[in-house]
Structure 1
Amino acid sequence: MMYTAPIKDTKSSIVPPEHTCQRFTLAEVQSATRNFDETLVIGHGGFGRVYKCCKIGSVSKVAVKRLHAISNQGAHEFEAEVKVLSKLRHGNLVSLIGYCNEGKEMILVYEFMPNGTLEDHLHKADSALSWLQRLKICIGAARGLDYLHTGTSTQDGVIHRDVKTSNILLDTNFAAKISDFGLARVGPVDQTRTYVTTGVKRTFGYMDPCYFYTGKLTRKSDVYAFGVVLLEVLSGRKAVDSTLDEEQWGLAGWAQDQIKEGKLNQIMDRTLMGQISKKCLKEFASIASQCLRAQPKQRPTMAEVVFKLESLLSQERKRAKYFAGEGRFIYKVKSFLTSKSDFIAHYVWKSKNRSLRNFTFAELVRATNGFLDEHRNYFPASGESIYKGWVDEKTYAPKRCGVGLPMYVTKKEILTCKVLSFVK
């Protein structure tokens, strides 16, 4: 039973001392952004605009977030983000380098994340993340949230309160980092007995129903939102999509119904076909369902989520390594016994008023990046391998890895047996 004495949510915010976070002058920010040059804008929203800068002060490659006067993220949220992020240092949290609070200007300076947001990669047609990449991203984001919740760097833990795919940024190596702490709240780590009473603020589609109806915020509200993120990663669908049939608008409700009915293939992103083992698919969906349980106390902690996801990644890596190793062994045996191998590769694209494209072997090699093992699933019983490749949406010409229309290529290896005679 949840303890009923709420933690007092004082709305005081204190700008941290200079040694924990740099304070930039408006002149420095204007110089770095070329007086807020529109060509440097890499993102925008209700808060304002984000600019990519090569250098500010002595720091290279930063992202500058400028909050405009009518921003939903007001002075309190601005100072809250500075206060929270200046105290936190973790590999899966975006680092706050500095801030500017001069006149009417409220500006935050972060480390630059070259691969943008997880949301971009899940919902834009020109991007494709493999299943192993998605698992690693989920683990990174979960580690960041666990660090916040356990209060590792502060006396109190932190509730993010706005967990979503657009707030999960990706660095050069596609490592995930949690961002945007404007709505964060600090409170004691004992998440099973305490809560914070706040005005309800969160993005629709990720909001914990319990928090919505009671206004009682706990770390398990972040867990609920992360469950929606897991479903988004698995399905490639948005948390809310009004272009779909009404019963499918909300991803969380629709996906939970599919999981209960055992229709996991209905949820899975079609670009992941052949990449996920049945066991992993079932267990991943189960983790998401646990995060979305109606009663907060029945949801797992983020530490438990991290453990379960890491276990899945380990299983999938072993599976990929096994099939790749087995494939290389068969190839060596085949090369020893034969002087020639025939490869049959075909790609069938079903579409109205379109004829089938006859690919040359060279085109298929380019489209699959040389039949790269990373994009391969091998089936020993049939001697077939299925590779993922990419082609231009209109011309079907081969494209580089991850760009264009995904396709699947089946390559069948036909062994030619020879009789070896030995002379005594």
Structure 2
Amino acid sequence: MKAFIRHMISSNIRVNPSAFLTTFLLILNLACCQRGFDPIDRYYINCGSSTDLTVGNITYVADRSSSRFLTTPQDILADSNLNSITPSEDSRLFRTARIFTGPTRYTFSIQQGGRHWIRLHFYPFTYQNYDMNSASFSVFSQQTTLLSEFSPRNASVKEYSVNVTSGDLVITFSPSTNSLAYINALEVVSVPDDLIADDASLFNPPGPFNGLVTQALETVARVNMGGPLVSLVNDTLGRTWVPDSNFLLQQNLATNESNVPAVHYPQGGASSNTAPQTVYGTCTKMNSGNDPNSNFNVTWGFNVDPGFQYLIRLHFCDIVSTAANQLVFNVYIGSSLVAPDFEPSSRTSGHLATPYFMDFVTPLMDQNNLSISIGPSPRSSYPDAFLNGLEIMKMNNSRDSLAGSSVLPRFPASKKNLGMIVGLSVGVPVALILIVLLFFIHKRRKQRLLAHSKTWVPIYVNGGASHTQGSKYSTGTNVSVGSNMSYRIPFVALQEATNNFDENLAIGIGGFGKVYKGVLHDGTVVAVKRGNPKSQQGLAEFRTEIEMLSQFRHRHLVSLIGYCDEKNEMILVYEYMENGTLKGHLYGSDNPCLGWKERLEICIGAARGLHYLHTGDSKPVIHRDVKSANILLDENLMAKVADFGLSKTGPEVDQTHVSTAVKGSFGYLDPEYFRRQQLTEKSDVYSFGVVLFEVLCARPVIDPSLPREMVNLAEWAMRWQKKGQLDQITDPKLSGKIKPDSLRKFGETAEKCLADFGVDRPSMGDVLWNLEYALQLQEAVVHNDPEENSTNVIGQLSPQVAEFNNVDHTSNSVAGFEESSVDDLSGVSMSRVFSQLVKSEGR
């Protein structure tokens, strides 16, 4: 371009200025187009229109001339002069629409397989007797559900990215009963192969995510931080980037910066296809002012649909720093710290103003909001952080859906298939006979299955044989199941119990899958956890859960009732816990507030369950995912530890630890385990210490929306504990209701649990002893207790414990309690003898 201009000047050619400007802009436009992506497949359709429409450099072909793509029962083209939409070039796409009164499909020939955009433009208006405002319909791409029972209320564009493997891409519109469907404009366009790579990262638990290239995606948000609207006209891939002001939770904490000309794309990294220069050249950053002690996070909030995973793409381009390696900050997704001490220039070989992006995949969302936060790192010399752009994309679920559950409609045969139908009709009499026979065979098979579903078939666990001792569904006497036994439940029985997994019976979503409330044939209420094939917790966790819970029976461990592995399903069935999770009673729900005594008793129950795991078998079992969401409460608020999918058998007698990959939940992870990848029972103790502070303060363990010193609950609470002012951060609902001695003992217990090194932490037995003591201090003042005014060190036992440890273990009873009660410690009165909480041989 520069050479062309120099040639014009040096040649001293006299030209018309207007003609020169036109020629120059044309060449410039061609040069820009050459830099952009040139899609092999490109279909732009102006639906319901009889004329083509050009928007920017894109021509949308009239629907009449594109009828070769369309199979519809009725040809209804709607036209309206819409003046209610904000005037813009692309708003003209909403002025016409094609209406469908029955199942309709567009079929597009795909020249090159791979990822393609599907963009659906909707704007409802009334045309003759058709009111699009009342429309309700579903949209499918091949077998993927894009929209279910969708009712557009205003001008909107739904954007999807799907992987096309066959020669044709079929998009189907299916009106709901007694309704209609419509579309104003439709796009099917090739996407660059490298735009969505298969190298995203999970962060809860941490690890790689595989299979991203095959996922169908729906764009939930595409945001230009600190910059203006970037429309499809200005983006090489026809995308729209909206400003971030509407998503900022506290706008006064943020400020904008812009330096678009400085942006230069690296070789082999981010490109203009990843995001345009106008996105990377602007950013939203901390409004630190001149205060070097600024300590807060900038947070954006977005609405999402629970029950799905999301791909989060974060765009960075350091237009803030004046030198490389100057800025270090933290990045959070939800409550998870996904990029600690992030140094942008270190990712771009020390170059400033160079685009870079990171991809993360969330766990299954169990709430309808998602936050993205940036904040200062202690490593930075000056508190600052920035973000240039953000994309949030919903990923299809295990049912290959991006919306609710809908059934792809069937279409009547076309005239081209009429000859085949006539030929097949010759064999109709034979076919009818076969159908009748198959019907009776199927009916008898179903009857046998139903009969079979009334008896659970025992499986073999750890190589041991087991025999049916009774039927859970039978009317005879139930025989208790041995601790070495688990039961396989037929899939049809679980379908019956959950009304075919009715979404109205869903009671929770976890990393493994969705949990449903069910009622078995004999009236037993159960919790049915159905594995999600897309989940990162798969077969290994499924087997672990069965193996662990089949060996243990304890009133403070959730009981496994059965499992199902038919039809490629992984389903676990537990006893139903009426009051849900401990987390749900502390914050984030409308559950009644727990009193301090109730909280102590719940902590004691959970500690009993964990202590049993650590000492109740030949080898200790380490839970590895202790958190408030995995402590469940029954109808009497009795605590039971749940979710053993990550559990691990502890070290041998002559070993100190188990070397294993780090798994668990952020905020609860033992830092020593995280650093060394050496797992011990003390890792559970650390996590339980975090739970104790969570119980006391009734707030999330990681909350990036708070000032930095408050983000991590464990660190924040420990600072107050060491100052002796733990009462300053307790749940306000407990104000004045905790006796000081009880709070002191509780705080000391939690503090010991959170010691930096495992050897300095107490055993779960010692934790249990001290929690029982904290409960006694709450219930009554113990006169002349030598520890009443002391700063107790956990593990320092009373004389009563010493006496108990000297009991003859050959006896069948201990201090008046049956030996079985020692194994299941929940039956022992803890207020009578503290030492009986712990088997002496386990100590």
Q: TM-score when scaled to structure 1?
A: 0.69
**Which of 723, 739, 746 is the aligned partner of 1:261?**
723
Q: Structure 2 matches for 1:92-131, cutoff 5 A?
A: 92-124=556-588, 126=590, 127-131=592-596
Asked whether the equivalents of residues 686 and 753 of structure 2 are also in contact (C-alpha less than 8 Å), the reply is yes
Q: Which residue of 2 is the match for residue 172 of structure 1?
A: 635
**Which of 86, 90, 94 is the aligned partner of 2:554?**
90
**Which of 607, 624, 636 is the aligned partner of 1:161?**
624
Asked whether the equivalents of residues 741 and 778 of structure 2 are also in contact (C-alpha less than 8 Å), the reply is no
Q: Structure 2 matches for 1:245-394, cutoff 5 A?
A: 245-318=707-780
Shift of 1:173: 0.5
**Which of 26, 38, 41 is the aligned partner of 2:491?**
26
Determine whether 1:183 maps to 2:646. Answer: yes
Task: Write the distance in 2 (CA, Å) between the matches of 1:114 and 1:120.
Answer: 12
Task: Write the distance in 2 (CA, Å) between the matches of 1:161 and 1:260.
Answer: 27
Q: Which residue of 2 is the match for residue 233 of structure 1?
A: 695
Structure 1 residues 347-405: Cα deviation after superposition (integer angstroms, max 9, x where no partner): xxxxxxxxxxxxxxxxxxxxxxxxxxxxxxxxxxxxxxxxxxxxxxxxxxxxxxxxxxx
Greater mean alpha carbon deviation, residues 158-167 or residues 21-30:
21-30
Q: Which residue of 1 is the match for residue 356 of structure 2?
A: none
2:614 maps to amino acid: H
2:645 maps to amino acid: G
Structure 2: gaps spanning 5 or more residues: 1-460, 468-484, 783-843
Greater mean alpha carbon deviation, residues 109-118 or residues 15-24:
15-24
Task: Write the distance in 1 (CA, Å) between the matches of 2:570 and 2:538.
Answer: 9
Shift of 1:240: 0.8
Q: Secondary structure at the match of 2:666?
A: coil
Distance verdict in 2 for CA 1:21–1:197, change over 3 Å: same
Q: Which residue of 2 is the match for residue 39 of structure 1?
A: 504
Q: Secondary structure at the match of 1:183?
A: coil
Determine whether 1:139 maps to 2:601. Answer: no
Shift of 1:16: 7.3
Shift of 1:155: 2.1
Asked whether the equivalents of residues 16 and 83 of structure 1 are also in contact (C-alpha less than 8 Å), the reply is no
Asked whether the equivalents of residues 195 and 216 of structure 1 are also in contact (C-alpha less than 8 Å), the reply is yes
Task: Write the distance in 2 (CA, Å) between the matches of 1:53 and 1:219.
Answer: 34
Task: Write the distance in 2 (CA, Å) between the matches of 1:256 and 1:182.
Answer: 30
Q: Percent identity?
A: 50
Asked whether the equivalents of residues 628 and 691 of structure 2 are also in contact (C-alpha less than 8 Å), the reply is yes
Shift of 1:59: 6.1
Query: Where in structure 1 do 4 or more consecutive aligned residues deviate above 6 Å?
Result: none
2:510 maps to amino acid: G
Q: Secondary structure at the match of 1:306?
A: helix
Distance verdict in 2 for CA 1:15–1:77, change over 3 Å: farther
Q: Which residue of 2 is the match for residue 397 of structure 1?
A: none
Task: Write the distance in 2 (CA, Å) between the matches of 1:58 and 1:87.
Answer: 25
Structure with the greater relative contact order (CA < 8 A, sep ≥ 6): 1 or 2?
A: 1
Asked whether the equivalents of residues 14 and 79 of structure 1 are also in contact (C-alpha less than 8 Å), the reply is no
Shift of 1:15: 8.4
Shift of 1:45: 2.6
Greater mean alpha carbon deviation, residues 167-176 or residues 257-266:
257-266
Task: Write the distance in 2 (CA, Å) between the matches of 1:290 and 1:167.
Answer: 22
Superposed CA RMSD in Å reads 1.8
Task: Write the distance in 1 (CA, Å) between the matches of 2:781 and 2:652.
Answer: 38
Q: Secondary structure at the match of 1:102?
A: coil
Asked whether the equivalents of residues 15 and 83 of structure 1 are also in contact (C-alpha less than 8 Å), the reply is no
Task: Write the distance in 1 (CA, Å) between the matches of 2:463 and 2:705.
Answer: 43
Shift of 1:124: 3.2
**Which of 211, 214, 228 is the aligned partner of 2:673?**
211
2:738 maps to amino acid: I
Based on CA coordinates, which of the two structures has the bigger radius of gyration? 2
Shift of 1:319: 5.1
Asked whether the equivalents of residues 16 and 82 of structure 1 are also in contact (C-alpha less than 8 Å), the reply is no
Asked whether the equivalents of residues 15 and 79 of structure 1 are also in contact (C-alpha less than 8 Å), the reply is no
Q: Structure 2 matches for 1:56-75, cutoff 5 A?
A: 57-58=521-522, 60-75=524-539
Greater mean alpha carbon deviation, residues 16-25 or residues 128-137:
16-25
Task: Write the distance in 1 (CA, Å) between the matches of 2:463 and 2:569.
Answer: 15
Q: Secondary structure at the match of 2:609?
A: helix
**Which of 653, 657, 667 is the aligned partner of 1:195?**
657
Shift of 1:212: 0.2
Shift of 1:316: 1.3
**Which of 677, 681, 685 is the aligned partner of 1:223?**
685
Task: Write the distance in 1 (CA, Å) between the matches of 2:466 and 2:524.
Answer: 19
Task: Write the distance in 2 (CA, Å) between the matches of 1:242 and 1:161.
Answer: 24
Q: Which residue of 2 is the match for residue 243 of structure 1?
A: 705
Distance verdict in 2 for CA 1:165–1:113, change over 3 Å: same
Asked whether the equivalents of residues 650 and 681 of structure 2 are also in contact (C-alpha less than 8 Å), the reply is no
Greater strand share, 1 or 2? 2
Distance verdict in 2 for CA 1:39–1:180, change over 3 Å: same
Task: Write the distance in 2 (CA, Å) between the matches of 1:292 and 1:15.
Answer: 39
Shift of 1:267: 2.0
Q: TM-score when scaled to structure 2?
A: 0.35
Q: Which residue of 2 is the match for residue 367 of structure 1?
A: none
Distance verdict in 2 for CA 1:315–1:261, change over 3 Å: closer
Structure 1 residues 114-144: Cα deviation after superposition (integer angstroms, max 9, x where no partner): 0000000000353200000000000000000
Q: Secondary structure at the match of 1:149?
A: helix
Q: Secondary structure at the match of 1:97?
A: strand
1:24 maps to amino acid: I
Task: Write the distance in 2 (CA, Å) between the matches of 1:76 and 1:211.
Answer: 21
Asked whether the equivalents of residues 672 and 756 of structure 2 are also in contact (C-alpha less than 8 Å), the reply is yes
Determine whether 1:52 maps to 2:517. Answer: yes
Q: Secondary structure at the match of 2:564?
A: strand
Asked whether the equivalents of residues 651 and 658 of structure 2 are also in contact (C-alpha less than 8 Å), the reply is no
Asked whether the equivalents of residues 80 and 184 of structure 1 are also in contact (C-alpha less than 8 Å), the reply is yes
Task: Write the distance in 1 (CA, Å) between the matches of 2:525 and 2:465.
Answer: 23
